[in-house]
Amino acid sequence: MSTAGPALADEIQEQIELGLDLYQEQDYGAAITELEFAINDIRKLMANRIADTFPDAPAGWTAALVESQSGGGGMAGMFGGGGTMLQRAYTQDDGSGQLEASLIVDSPMIQGVAAIFNNPAMMAAQPNTERVRIGRESAMLKWEPNRAQAEATLLLDGRIMMQVKGRNLESSDVAVELLRNWDLRAVREQTAR
């Protein structure tokens, strides 16, 4: 992921100042447009910082660069619009295993997932699903051995969803371990409101 530095921060400040000037001139439409550009650029800065929290590749695996989608476009739009989504792919060096780690922040779709997490009966009703611990947090693991697919999902603070999906896996262990290796403290710091 490219590092957005002081140049983008200076551009954001200029956008905010122009937005304020336009607001004071009662040119509300132009003010909204300028401030929305500033908000999107702030999301890019935030995404760059969140990208640094993704775990390194497990031994015997290779990690791709972190990709980001913010606002209402791309995958974020598919998940109800808004929010930020980052993804990183991992491939097994000497096999066909594939993992995809994703982190979604402030998306409306997280509320639906939270309903399952907050209700043990709903979680138990999910086929091939069990609760696992990631530190002191509860995560949900879905393992389909006949399809060699795993999905480990962790919900933090009701607004951050971290997920590792894997296919062509010998077991769910590598997906759970990747989720365990995520720096939860850093994720919380970089997504703080």
DSSP code string of 84-149: EEEEEEEEETTSS-EEEEEEEES-TTHHHHHHHHT-HHHHHHSTTEEEEEETTEEEEEEEETTTTE
Q: What pLDDT band is residue 55 in, cutting at 50, 70 and 90?
A: very high
Which residue shows structure tokens 């609760």? 131
Residues 32-58: what's their mean pLDDT?
92
Q: Looking at residue 71, what is its pLDDT? A: 53
| Of 32, 172, 152, residue with least CA distance to 103 | 152
SS3 169: coil
SS3 7: helix
pTM of the model: 0.80
Q: Looking at residue 193, what is its pLDDT? A: 74
Q: Looking at residue 77, what is its pLDDT? A: 41
Q: Looking at residue 70, what is its pLDDT? A: 62
SS3 72: coil
Which residue shows structure tokens 């309903």? 115
Average pLDDT, the chain: 88
Decide the pairing of beta strands 61-63 and 149-156.
Answer: unpaired
| Of 3, 6, 66, 53, residue with least CA distance to 189 | 53
Q: Are 87 and 102 in contact (CB under 8 A)?
A: yes
More confident residue, 78 or 155: 155
Of 116-120, 124-128, 168-172, the range with the lowest mean pLDDT is: 116-120
Which residue shows structure tokens 């051995």? 145
More confident residue, 3 or 185: 185
Q: Looking at residue 166, what is its pLDDT? A: 98
Q: What pLDDT band is residue 40 in, cutting at 50, 70 and 90?
A: confident
Quick check: 79 pLDDT over 50? no
Residues 169-181: what's their mean pLDDT?
97
